[in-house]
Amino acid sequence: MKAAARLGGVLDPGIPVPTRGRTFSARRRVRLADADPRGRVRLDALARLLQDVAIDDVQETGWGTPQHLWFVRRMRMEVHRPFLEDREIELVTWCSGVAAIAAGRRWSVSGDRGGWAEIDSVWIHLDPDQRPARIEGFGAYAEAAAGRHVSTKLELPGPGEAAAASPWPLRATDVDMHGHVNNSIHWQAVEHALVSGGVDAAGPLAAELDYREPLDAGEQIELLTERREDGLRVALRTPAAVKAVATVVLG
């Protein structure tokens, strides 16, 4: 995929399904609110489905109990064939790498009408007080990772000074049970920037998002958008800091 090659970076959505270790599979129906007016499954809807299946996985193994919280640090989606007419998708997920306080999670996603995406991500492991906690005895997840190491280092630069800025007000419904703006809401901002920037996302694309700092309810947020020759760069910024950065590359 040309767009994937141009993005580069440490995340690797090409890691194959492991032959040893744990994998977890699920099927989900595409619902009305998941798709845009053309029927394309949006990136934020895909992010929510990825999150739901990951939660189902860790709850089954015990790594999703109140003693183990997971906050996404980075995510990279490679949509090789957009989900335009698909009404059911299959998601397969497994551990793509391990670090002292973080783990990688891969998904392979296929639709019933030919849609296809590969995703890799890094998640920070937290204790019940939402403090970073070492990963001990990772069991079948470590076996699937096959010795690969993940990095929590952020890679994406923010938009330049010429980026257009507009208010991005947070809603009460954006906040999840952990008291933070859910990671799928960041992808809603990316989708909004694609539409407002006149970018056609109905073809193959690669999108990467760095979650720099949590977004909290009540913060004054700006959406920064920078149109590029091959796609788009997006950021969510408060007066104090850039909270998240995303890049979308088409092709």
- Give dist(CA 122, CA 153) in Å, integer: 10
The pLDDT assigned to 8 comes to 56
pLDDT digits 0-9 by tens, 183-210: 999 999 999 999 998 899 999 999 999 9
The pLDDT assigned to 58 comes to 97
103, β-bridge pairs = 98, 123
The pLDDT assigned to 196 comes to 92
Query: Among 121, 117, 119, which Cα is nearest to 204's?
Result: 117
Could you give the angle at the alpha carbon of 249 between the alpha carbons of 245 and 251, nearest 5°?
A: 165
Could you give the angle at the alpha carbon of 95 between the alpha carbons of 90 and 97, nearest 5°?
A: 145
**Least confident interval from 7-16, 19-28, 136-145, 236-245:** 7-16
pLDDT digits 0-9 by tens, 139-188: 989 999 999 999 999 999 988 888 999 999 999 999 998 888 999 999 99
Q: Please, what are the domains in the chain? A: 2-145 (3.10.129.10), 164-250 (3.10.129.10)
> What is the pTM for the complete model shown?
0.94
% the chain with pLDDT above 90: 87
Phi, psi of 220 (to 5 degrees): -90, 110
The answer to whether residue 49 scores a pLDDT higher than 60 is yes
Query: What mean pLDDT do residues 224-248 have?
Result: 95
The pLDDT assigned to 171 comes to 93
